[in-house]
């Protein structure tokens, strides 16, 4: 491996991921990788791919990846992130023009030349979206290499290049059933590549069609779910029926509110950025529990954004051209006038809509549903969904692979008319039709519930919300927020305005994260 890692003066500096098409790549690059460990195999393939194709190497890779290669002959660093951003990559340019980089922000924080400073503007974006969208982070100067981009660094000069853009070219001549067949055949292909024969995987299972389809198509013998005492939030009962039907063992991690609140600092530390998605806490607990009995698990992310899975997509035609004035992705919980009242520092030029304007410029001729889908693929998936999956799984020592997140799956969705994605009665129509080939219709066409959490109930309970109250009244909070204003939001929630829970949770998770990175350290 040492020889390969210095092939033609090339060296892998950092890499995290999973290359699905390694067997096809081995043949194409004329490499015998059969006796290598996975780490040796993938790093060898990546070096040979860079030697063969240079900065075009990502076009030949299927899977998840974020990596940096040093080219000794060129005296150049090449860094690339996969097409959808399933693995993160961060970089920081020091005052003396050195590049700090890594697949974790913590790879950068302790390096000589890094100056830790809060990016206060990001708080405005966060207060609306509940996650860190776009290339900037909460650490001033630390940037994300965005999905479908690579960077080169040579002689102190940094260059960012976009190598892939989601494109949509609907085909009207294919029938719904033909698209469903293509989805099903492609998912079958994914499972030929998603793991090797010597690996054993379990599968996360909710009550939804995505995870049910993944489980049905896999060779997993055990499914892992989360559940709650509060029955109306608990999908584990539905998941149990699916597991029984598919004849797999089913384990349920019962989430208690004390456990939920206790783990929040752990989650915000390992997330490295604040994340106001309440399901992230549940996912962290699920990853830690699942890692006790397996090191590899499947999950069903990607299908909702590709195939029209969210209920809000059914309003796309009604929104029409007005989308570009307000739709910034899956969440938008706080308007500008409210943020002006709440925040101590407000910059009127920092607007969430500005993040997505370049995307709208490149998709102005597409239909409204496709526009919403593309915004979520480029902004929401990277900033929330994939961040959560990557950070919480790696923190727990669990590897998660997402068979439905693949360019070959996306290619089908990109050619599919919106009428096959969403209609008046149903969302994800073609995808559900594909899933019905291996699942009963009551599972394949079950109404989407989402990954719901009883946090809206727990937050109002004095047994669990003491740290929230404490932080809302703290000197730390007073640095950023008008305490009277955020106090009003909390009290209105306690008095019955349950819609306020998202605002409270978003403020709270920022404060927990800030304490972890700027107060304790």
Instruction: Specify the CATH number for the domain of residue 201.
Output: 3.40.50.620
Identify the pLDDT of residue 233: 84
Please check whether residues 482 and 441 belong to one and the same domain. no
- The CATH number given to whatever domain includes residue 102 is 3.60.20.10
Into how many domains does the chain fold? 3
- Per-residue pLDDT of 230-263, as tens digits, reads 877 888 999 999 999 999 999 999 999 999 999 9
Residue 407 lies in a domain: yes
184/210 Cα distance (integer angstroms): 12
Question: Containing domain of residue 24, as a range?
Answer: 4-122+134-162
* Domain match, 260 and 305 both: yes
Assessment of whether the complete model's pTM goes beyond 0.85: yes
Show which of 407, 438, 453 is a domain's final residue: 453
Do residues 22 and 93 both lie within one domain? yes
287 and 433, same domain (yes or no)? yes
Enumerate residues 6+ apart whose C-beta is below 8 A from 320: 368
Statement to judge: residues 309 and 273 lie in one domain: yes
Residue that finishes a domain, picked among 436, 453, 470: 453
Same domain, 478 and 396: no
Does one domain contain both 21 and 155?
yes
Give pLDDT tens digits for 93-143: 999 999 999 999 999 999 999 999 999 999 999 999 999 999 999 999 999
- The answer as to whether 381 is a domain residue is yes
- SS3 of 295, please? coil
Is position 169 within any domain?
A: no
Residues sharing a CB contact under 8 Å with residue 449, sequence separation 6 or more, in sequence order:
206, 207, 208, 235
**Do 436 and 485 share a domain, yes or no?**
no
Residue 414 located in a structural domain: yes
- Give yes or no: residues 50 and 28 share one domain: yes
Choosing from 407, 428, 453, the residue where a domain stops is 453
- Tell me the pLDDT band of 182, cut-offs 50, 70 and 90: very high
What own/partner pairs with CB < 8 Å and gap ≥ 24 does 337-343 have? 339/124, 339/127, 339/128, 341/482, 341/485, 342/127, 342/481, 342/482, 342/485, 342/486, 342/489, 343/123, 343/124, 343/127, 343/480, 343/481, 343/482
- Answer yes or no: is pLDDT of 348 > 60: yes
Per-residue pLDDT at 409 exceeds 90: yes
Same domain, 193 and 256: yes
Structure tokens at 278: 């309440």
Q: Which tokens belong to 274?
A: 């604040």
């Amino acid at each position: 491996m040492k020889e390969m890692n210095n092939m033609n003066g090339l060296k892998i500096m950092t890499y995290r991921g999973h290359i699905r098409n390694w067997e096809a790549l081995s043949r194409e690059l004329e490499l015998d990788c059969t006796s290598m460990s996975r780490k040796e195999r993938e790093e060898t393939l990546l070096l040979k791919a860079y030697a063969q194709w240079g900065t075009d190497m990502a076009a030949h890779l299927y899977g998840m990846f974020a990596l940096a290669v040093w080219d000794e002959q060129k005296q150049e660093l090449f860094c690339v992130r996969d097409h959808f951003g399933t693995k993160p990559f961060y970089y920081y340019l020091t005052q003396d023009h050195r590049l700090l980089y890594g697949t974790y922000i913590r790879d950068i924080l302790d390096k000589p030349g890094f100056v830790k400073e809060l990016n206060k503007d990001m708080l405005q974006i966060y207060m609306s979206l509940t996650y860190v969208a776009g290339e900037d982070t909460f650490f001033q100067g630390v940037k994300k290499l965005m999905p479908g981009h690579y960077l080169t660094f040579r002689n102190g000069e940094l260059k960012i290049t976009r190598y892939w853009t989601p494109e949509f070219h609907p085909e009207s001549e294919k029938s719904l059933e033909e698209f469903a067949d293509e989805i099903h055949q492609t998912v079958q292909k994914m499972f030929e590549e998603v793991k090797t024969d010597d690996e054993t995987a379990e599968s996360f299972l909710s009550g939804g069609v995505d995870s049910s389809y993944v489980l049905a198509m896999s060779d997993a013998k055990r499914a892992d779910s989360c559940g709650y005492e509060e029955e109306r939030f608990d999908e584990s009962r539905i998941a149990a029926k699916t597991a029984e039907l598919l004849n797999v063992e089913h384990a349920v991690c019962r989430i208690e509110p004390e456990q939920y609140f206790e783990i929040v600092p752990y989650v915000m530390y390992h997330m490295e950025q604040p994340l106001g998605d309440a399901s992230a806490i549940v996912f962290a607990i699920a990853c830690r529990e699942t890692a006790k009995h397996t090191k590899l698990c499947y999950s069903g992310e990607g299908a909702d954004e590709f195939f029209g899975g969210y209920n809000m997509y059914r309003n796309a035609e009604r929104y029409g051209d007005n989308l570009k004035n307000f739709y910034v992705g899956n969440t938008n919980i706080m308007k500008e006038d409210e943020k002006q009242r709440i925040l101590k520092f407000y910059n009127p030029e920092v607007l969430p809509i500005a993040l997505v304007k370049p995307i709208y410029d490149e998709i102005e001729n597409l239909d409204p549903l496709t526009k919403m889908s593309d915004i979520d693929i480029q902004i929401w998936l990277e900033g929330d969904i994939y961040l959560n999956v990557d950070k919480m799984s790696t923190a727990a020592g669990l590897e998660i692979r997402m068979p439905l997140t693949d360019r070959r799956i996306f290619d089908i969705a990109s050619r599919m008319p919106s009428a096959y994605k969403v209609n008046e009665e149903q969302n994800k129509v073609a995808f559900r039709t594909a899933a019905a080939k291996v699942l009963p219709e009551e599972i394949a066409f079950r109404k989407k519930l989402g990954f719901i959490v009883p946090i809206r109930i727990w937050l109002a309970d004095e047994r669990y919300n003491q740290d929230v109250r404490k932080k809302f009244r703290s000197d730390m909070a007073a640095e950023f927020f008008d305490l009277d204003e955020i106090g009003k939001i909390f009290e209105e929630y306690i008095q019955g305005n349950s819609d306020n829970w998202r605002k409270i949770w978003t403020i709270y998770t920022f404060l927990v994260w800030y304490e972890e990175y700027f107060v304790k350290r």
